[in-house]
């Protein structure tokens, strides 16, 4: 985590490094860095959010490369892995039955949509995640893309809040 001043004043390389784990979409990273300096955190978050406006299936596909499945404990010390572990803590600590239900739900979801199920996990219990997964299985491809992109926006915003304070 770095301060807004450090983010504003740092060189391009270090500024991009500080936010790269928020979402694996290069354009978002480079544009957020290019618009420095930000007068305050709210201005930074407003631009970060505006830069997600046009996201669709292509951006989702890019971002999913960096998101482990829900319930699969992300390994490694990368910023992404650390962020995922903390976001998914409630699932990691849940009982075996919930974990198995989520694992099976992920399988069903991937068979239907051919992509990893993405949900903003922070603040959600395993039960809430499971309920969301069941609901998402009823959606059409287009509907689920829209919901998945919205989840990606939420995860990105939460990670940015943690990254620069
Ligand atoms: N497949 C996922 O939904 N992954 C994740 N959701 C989060 O909130 N963090 C993740 O890594």
- Complex confidence, ipTM: 0.98
pLDDT, tens only, 8-40: 999 999 999 999 999 999 999 999 999 999 999
For residue 21, what are the domain limits? 4-163
| CATH number for position 16 | 1.10.3330.10
SS3 114: coil
Ligand 1 atom 11 nearest Cα = 84
Q: Is the dihedral of CA 24, 143, 48, 154 positive or negative?
A: negative
Decide whether any atom of ligand 1 lies within 6 Å of the 10 Cβ: no
Atom number in ligand 1 closest to CA 120:
8
Decide whether any atom of ligand 1 lies within 6 Å of the 115 Cβ: no
CA distance 71 to 118: 11
Q: Is the dihedral of CA 122, 152, 29, 110 positive or negative?
A: positive
Decide whether any atom of ligand 1 lies within 6 Å of the 80 Cβ: no
Q: How many domains does the chain have?
A: 1
Quote the ligand 1 centre to 119 CA distance (angstroms).
Answer: 6
pLDDT, tens only, 44-78: 999 999 999 999 999 999 999 998 899 987 888 89
pTM of the model: 0.96
Atom number in ligand 1 closest to CA 118:
3
């Amino acid at each position: 985590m770095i301060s807004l001043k450090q983010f504003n004043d740092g060189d391009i390389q270090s500024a991009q490094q500080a936010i790269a784990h928020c979402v694996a979409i290069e354009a978002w990273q480079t544009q957020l860095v290019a618009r420095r300096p930000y007068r305050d955190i709210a201005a930074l978050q407003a631009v970060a959010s505006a830069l997600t406006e046009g996201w669709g299936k292509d951006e989702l596909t890019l971002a999913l490369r960096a998101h482990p499945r829900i319930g699969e404990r992300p390994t490694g010390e990368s910023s992404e892995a650390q962020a995922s572990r903390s976001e998914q803590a409630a699932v990691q600590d849940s009982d075996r039955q919930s974990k198995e239900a989520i694992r099976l739900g992920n399988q069903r979801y991937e068979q239907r949509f051919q992509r990893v199920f993405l949900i903003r996990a922070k603040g959600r219990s395993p039960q809430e995640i499971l309920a969301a997964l069941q609901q998402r299985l009823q959606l059409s491809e287009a509907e689920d893309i829209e919901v998945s992109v919205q989840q990606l926006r939420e995860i990105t915003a939460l990670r940015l809040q943690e990254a620069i304070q």
